[in-house]
Amino acid sequence: MERTWFSRVALIAGVAIWSIWQLVPSFYYFKLSPDDRNGEVYDKSVPGWAPDSKKHLNLGLDLQGGIHLAMGVDVDRAVKAKVARRADEVAEHLKEKAVPFTSVAPDATGMRIVVATTAASDAEKATLDYYGAELYSPGGAADGQVLFAFKDQVLREFKSKAVEQAEKTIRNRVDKWGVSEPDIKRKANNQIQIQLPGFKDPEKAKELLGRTAQLEFKICDDENAALDAVRSQLPACPATRDGLTFPLPEGGCWTVESVELPGGDSRQATLVVANKRTELEADIATKLNPLIEAGKDSIGIGEVTVGQDMVRNTYYRTYLLRSKTELTGDYIADARASVDNSSPGGGKPVVTFTMSPDGARLMEKLTTDNLHRRMATVLDDKVETAPYIQGRISTSGQITLGSGRSYQEQFEEANSIALVLKAGALPAPVTIFEERTVGATLGPELVKAGTTAALVGLALVLVFMALYYRVSGLVADVALVLNGLLVLAIMSMIGTTLTLPGIAGFVLTLGMAVDANVLINERIREEMRAGRTVKQSVQQGYDRVFWTIVDSHVTALVAAVVLMQYGSGPVRGFAVTLTIGLVASLFTSIVVTRAIMEFLTRHDTARLSV
């Protein structure tokens, strides 16, 4: 046999073993009752040699029941709040420019700024020179007044950001609850749709989602070495030069990071990390809190994601913070992602923010007193970022991001941090105007019906292929079973939410895999009728049908990608499953079946029933 054949067999065996291994968490997940699937019972049931317990197939709202909520964001009130804040800023600016005015306030509608002044032209010029990128003067003001309004494009962007902020806040809260695979997305007309599979308390959901997120600024106590004592209570984290090794030890472990101190020195500070937030919270309560001085320091928790694409790992880490909340998000007027062209090298994504007048005074004192220390921004008890204070910050400031990542990744992080900074006090009220509860008995019925349909269809296809194509049909059956395992394994690895349309997509991919094998077997028949040997017929059959199979799969793949890009909800679930299935079908029909068929026809005198 050729060396390449052995390589292909090794690849096929590896894929089969990996697929079975990857499905172990899903096996134990569905083995339990619905009440035990998202708790400690499930986590403890998964063997230690299996993949991370989080990497299992999830059931969508239509399969396991849950809560569907539709929330509306009052963006008009957000605009009025922005106008009021900008009126305060314009008043401060006119004071600095020594332009006389009597008052600066929103008009009766709350959508325009009215400046009462005896120097209208000076007030208009001074304001537009500074705020001209966002404001304009529409005219029509009474004597002794100047009107200002936001430009239409600025308002559209602000309204969009207001809805995006609300979505960010809601997502943070839902993730904190531990709901498996929530579906949260923006819809038209400033709406946010939330689906919480398995969540059975609608009143609790409405109460938690309707509450305003709390943003706090706290100073990191990096000089304090109190947490070093935890090294005797927890194991050291496994690591290489490239970073931590996953999965981390169960129950958490300790590691160190280099922190800069205000005096110019640095030290190796101890921190505790864990795979799950619940594990880290348990360590904080039992091991870390006794080490720190109550009332002086507290432990913050941050979430870190490393890796790229599908090879990503998320873990939770501690920050030693001063207990005092120095500032809250109520003092932030605006924040946005931008690019700092003044830094060495230029073009580096940063986060710029603007404080309210009161916030500016407090921030200036805070940053002056804590130069070269880290200042943590904490949203919903989660440390989002902890950059060093490099200079005094007052009315406006800038947060520089860490290096070592691509420009796109840094800009995405800057945009995410900007949203977090603005999400401390929601700029727009969020109201729940639609609520639907999917009954607990609906899910099992749909799961049973969908599973039965898939299994019956698969069994009928396997029997047909074996009867009609005999030996080559059995080869196709082996590839078809591997195709199903591979599709489910990939879906499990990336945490796909399985819905009824997803089951339909899975069955469709099995049908396309069969179609590819039918093309191959018919082509081999034609070659044998033309007088070629069995070995030659197999080789020619695969070679000549290769581009036909690729063309049919790529055509369907293009349609699936379009559905995945522009579809939502059930349509997107169908497209994701179909995309994974098409890729798996290409592998099994071209690589797996050919390796088996070439083994069966390796001799020139071989026979094959097709």
Cβ atoms of 315 and 359 within 8 Å: the answer is: no
Q: 163 and 127, same structural domain?
A: no
Q: Does this model's pTM top 0.85?
A: no
Q: 572 and 451, same structural domain?
A: yes
**What CATH number should be reported for the domain holding residue 90?**
3.30.1360
**What CATH number should be reported for the domain holding residue 183?**
3.30.70.3400
SS3 60: coil
Return mean pLDDT, the chain: 82
Q: 389 and 475, same structural domain?
A: no
Question: What is the SS3 assignment for 535-592?
Answer: HHHHHHHHHHHHHHHHHHHHHHHHHHHHHHHHCCCHHHHHHHHHHHHHHHHHHHHHHH
H-helix or E-strand spanning residue 367: helix 357-369
**What CATH number should be reported for the domain holding residue 555?**
1.20.1640.10
Last residue of a domain, one of 413, 437, 461: 437
pLDDT, residue 404, reads 46
Q: 176 and 146, same structural domain?
A: no
Q: 414 and 383, same structural domain?
A: yes
Q: Tell me: the pLDDT tens digits for 160-211? A: 888 887 887 777 667 656 565 577 888 877 888 888 777 767 776 776 676 5
How many of the other CB atoms lie within 10 Å of CB of 410? 20
In percent, the amount of the chain with pLDDT more than 90 equals 22
Given a cut of 90, is residue 561 above it in pLDDT? Answer: no
Alpha carbons 148 and 106: distance in angstroms, whole number: 9
Indicate the number of domains in the chain: 5
Look at residue 218 and tell me if it is in a domain.
no
Look at residue 609 and tell me if it is in a domain.
no
Last residue of a domain, one of 404, 437, 470: 437
Nearest to 93 by CA among 138, 137, 124: 124
Domain range for 106: 76-155
pLDDT, residue 273, reads 96
Q: 150 and 22, same structural domain?
A: no
- Provide φ and ψ at 37, rounded to 5°: -75, -30
> 71 pairs with which residues across the strands?
192, 432
Hey, what are 126's tokens? 């001074």
pLDDT, residue 203, reads 73
Q: 444 and 586, same structural domain?
A: yes
Alpha carbons 510 and 517: distance in angstroms, whole number: 11
Q: 313 and 300, same structural domain?
A: yes
Hey, what are 381's tokens? 């008890």
Look at residue 608 and tell me if it is in a domain.
no
Q: 587 and 443, same structural domain?
A: yes
Question: What is the SS3 assignment for 88-108?
Answer: HHHHHHHHHCCCCCCEEEECC
Cβ atoms of 326 and 366 within 8 Å: the answer is: yes
Last residue of a domain, one of 437, 467, 482: 437
Counting DSSP H helices and E strands in the chain, the numbers are 16, 23
Look at residue 534 and tell me if it is in a domain.
yes
* Residue 112 DSSP class: S
Q: 267 and 130, same structural domain?
A: no
What DSSP string runs through 238-266? PEETTEE-SSPPTT-EEEEEEEE-TTS-E
Q: 252 and 188, same structural domain?
A: no
Q: How confident is the model at residue 78 (pLDDT cuts 50, 70, 90)?
A: confident
**Average pLDDT, stretch 145-170?**
87
Given a cut of 60, is residue 424 above it in pLDDT? Answer: no
Q: 550 and 481, same structural domain?
A: yes
Look at residue 81 and tell me if it is in a domain.
yes
Which residue in the block uniquely carries the two structure tokens 């296809």? 461
Q: Tell me: the pLDDT tens digits for 90-134? A: 998 999 999 999 999 898 888 999 999 999 999 999 999 999 999
pLDDT, residue 239, reads 92
Look at residue 134 and tell me if it is in a domain.
yes
Q: Tell me: the pLDDT tens digits for 315-372? A: 999 999 998 888 877 677 777 888 877 655 567 787 787 888 888 888 888 888 899 8
Look at residue 145 and tell me if it is in a domain.
yes
Nearest to 458 by CA among 480, 479, 443: 480
Given a cut of 60, is residue 403 above it in pLDDT? Answer: no
Look at residue 261 and tell me if it is in a domain.
yes
